[in-house]
């Protein structure tokens, strides 16, 4: 039958017998009690401590009850008179040094890392998350936070804790170990965690509808109902990045700094004006996409699609009541880009002029914005606008009315 250490024997294993023997020799611990060695004495004392023994008689009875196992402990039966004599005569320094900090091992410089409470909770919860994903294969946000109204919001709080408390390599390793899928479930945003098998591939494209929890059946996502929204402004986003002093946030803030000033609200404002009810885009995203498309040898369809998006925002976007300067700068930038791009077909340019003119057919409350759009278009496309106005009978710079 295979031998296995008892629990008590396993508890004694960390005590180095050779080192203990050197301690005994140094203090002459066995000088007067050679039949009851210091090791026998130590084993008896440890047993008494773990067993909460309150008397020498009780120690003798309990220790000798399983004397057949003493061989594996390196000791023998215990007599209370012998123990009493050893307690009186053996130097206490033998046992003090046996459990003192070690300074003569290869681990003598090791000390456990001291972590604050948030860091301990972060490490513990991150390990649990990884184990849950590995054990189950897939874990949803609802299963992690069953009582939460918005599990994604609770996940964000937990992820921010990990980001702030885990070491950089631990945070990077966690992102590399767990893949997160953003899905819809019962018209609410949801996440699914699984083992990451992307092998360095980037995550999917950001969907502002999902980020702001506007489900597929949300009233603002219905076909034919144009809509735009902005819950925070760009200045607040930049101030937040500045306040956090995070190098990753600073990298993104630095990349988007050219939009500061005259282009406030192009980052945090989103627009949903297209027949595809699942699409929403920020003005900044549209401008960057247009710049990349117009500066590369992309397909003509992709180029026209980028211009269509920017032109639609230029015509429809309100940004916010206090962002008239942003709206004007955006319109000027887009229309100048259209005027200078030689790859755009004449047919599309004519349709763009018609769309701008059609935008002037507005209610009285929007005539001012229609007039501003026509003024910019007349400055950038003077010949095209004049030709179109002559064909339709309109006067340049004057917005059309529904009767026209």
Residue 372 falls inside a structural domain: no
Confidence at residue 404, expressed as pLDDT on a 0 to 100 scale: 36
Residue 117 falls inside a structural domain: yes
Confidence at residue 74, expressed as pLDDT on a 0 to 100 scale: 84
Whether residues 127 and 185 fall in one domain: yes
Residue 54 falls inside a structural domain: yes
Please state, in angstroms and rounded to a whole number, the distance separating the CA atoms of residues 404 and 347. 24
Say if residues 180 and 159 touch (Cβ distance below 8 Å). no
Please state, in angstroms and rounded to a whole number, the distance separating the CA atoms of residues 165 and 152. 20
Cα angle: 320, vertex 324, 326; to 5 degrees: 90
- Give the count of domains, the chain: 2
Residue 302 falls inside a structural domain: no
Whether residues 92 and 156 fall in one domain: no
Cα angle: 119, vertex 125, 130; to 5 degrees: 125
Q: What are the residues facing 190 on neighbouring strands?
A: 183
Please state, in angstroms and rounded to a whole number, the distance separating the CA atoms of residues 360 and 175. 50
Whether residues 146 and 187 fall in one domain: yes
Residue 91 falls inside a structural domain: yes
Confidence at residue 315, expressed as pLDDT on a 0 to 100 scale: 87
- The secondary structure of residue 298, as a DSSP letter, is -
Please state, in angstroms and rounded to a whole number, the distance separating the CA atoms of residues 306 and 240. 30
Please state, in angstroms and rounded to a whole number, the distance separating the CA atoms of residues 327 and 317. 7
Whether residues 81 and 147 fall in one domain: no
Radius of gyration of the chain (CA): 38
Whether residues 17 and 70 fall in one domain: yes
Confidence at residue 363, expressed as pLDDT on a 0 to 100 scale: 45
Residue 176 falls inside a structural domain: yes
Regions in the chain scoring below 50 on pLDDT: 1, 3, 363-365, 396-404
Confidence at residue 4, expressed as pLDDT on a 0 to 100 scale: 55
3-class state of residue 318 by DSSP: coil
Confidence at residue 400, expressed as pLDDT on a 0 to 100 scale: 41
Whether residues 72 and 35 fall in one domain: yes
3-class state of residue 201 by DSSP: coil
Residues of the domain holding 129: 113-204
Q: Which two tokens stand for residue 12?
A: 């004694």
Out of 181, 204, 227, a domain closes at 204
Q: How far is CA 277 from CA 224, 229, 271, 280, 309, in A?
A: 8, 15, 11, 8, 14
Out of 149, 176, 204, a domain closes at 204
* 292-326 per-position pLDDT tens digit: 999 999 999 999 999 999 998 988 876 666 678 88
Residue 327 falls inside a structural domain: no
Out of 154, 178, 204, a domain closes at 204
Residue 42 falls inside a structural domain: yes
Say if residues 194 and 133 touch (Cβ distance below 8 Å). yes
Please state, in angstroms and rounded to a whole number, the distance separating the CA atoms of residues 154 and 144. 9
Whether residues 118 and 187 fall in one domain: yes
* 157-182 per-position pLDDT tens digit: 999 999 999 999 999 999 999 999 99
């Amino acid at each position: 039958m295979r031998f296995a250490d008892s629990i008590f024997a396993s508890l004694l294993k960390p005590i180095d017998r050779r080192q203990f023997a050197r301690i005994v020799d140094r203090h002459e611990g066995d000088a007067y009690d050679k039949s009851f060695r210091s090791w026998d004495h130590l084993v008896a004392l440890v047993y008494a401590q773990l067993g909460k023994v309150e008397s020498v008689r009780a120690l003798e009875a309990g220790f000798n009850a399983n004397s057949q196992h003493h061989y594996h402990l390196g000791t023998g039966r215990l007599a209370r008179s012998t123990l009493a004599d050893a307690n009186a005569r053996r130097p206490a320094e033998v046992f003090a040094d046996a459990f003192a900090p070690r300074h003569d091992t290869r681990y003598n410089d090791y000390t456990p890392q001291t972590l604050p409470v948030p860091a301990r909770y972060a490490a513990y919860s991150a390990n649990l998350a990884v184990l849950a994903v590995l054990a189950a294969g897939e874990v949803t946000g609802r299963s992690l936070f069953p009582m939460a109204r918005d599990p994604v919001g609770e996940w964000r709080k937990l992820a921010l804790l990990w980001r702030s408390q885990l070491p950089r390599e631990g945070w990077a390793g966690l992102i590399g170990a767990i893949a997160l899928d953003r899905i819809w479930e019962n018209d609410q945003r949801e996440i699914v965690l699984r083992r990451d098998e992307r092998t360095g591939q980037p995550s999917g494209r950001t969907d502002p509808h999902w980020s702001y929890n506007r489900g597929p059946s949300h009233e603002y996502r219905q076909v034919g109902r144009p809509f735009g929204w902005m819950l925070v402004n760009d200045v607040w986003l930049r101030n937040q990045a500045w306040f956090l002093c995070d190098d990753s946030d600073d990298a993104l803030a630095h990349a988007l700094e050219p939009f500061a000033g005259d282009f406030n609200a192009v980052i945090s404002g989103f627009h949903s004006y297209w027949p595809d009810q699942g699409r929403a885009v920020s003005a900044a995203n549209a401008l960057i996409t247009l710049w990349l498309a117009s500066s590369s040898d992309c397909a003509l369809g992709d180029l026209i699609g980028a211009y269509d998006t920017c032109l639609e925002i230029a015509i429809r976007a309100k940004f916010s009541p206090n962002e008239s300067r942003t709206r004007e700068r955006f319109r000027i930038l887009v229309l100048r880009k259209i005027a200078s791009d030689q790859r755009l077909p004449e047919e599309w340019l004519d349709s763009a002029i018609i769309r701008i003119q059609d935008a002037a057919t507005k209610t009285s409350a929007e005539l001012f914005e229609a007039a501003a759009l026509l003024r910019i278009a007349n400055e950038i496309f003077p010949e095209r606008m004049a030709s179109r106005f002559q064909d339709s009978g309109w006067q340049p710079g004057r917005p059309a009315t529904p009767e026209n």
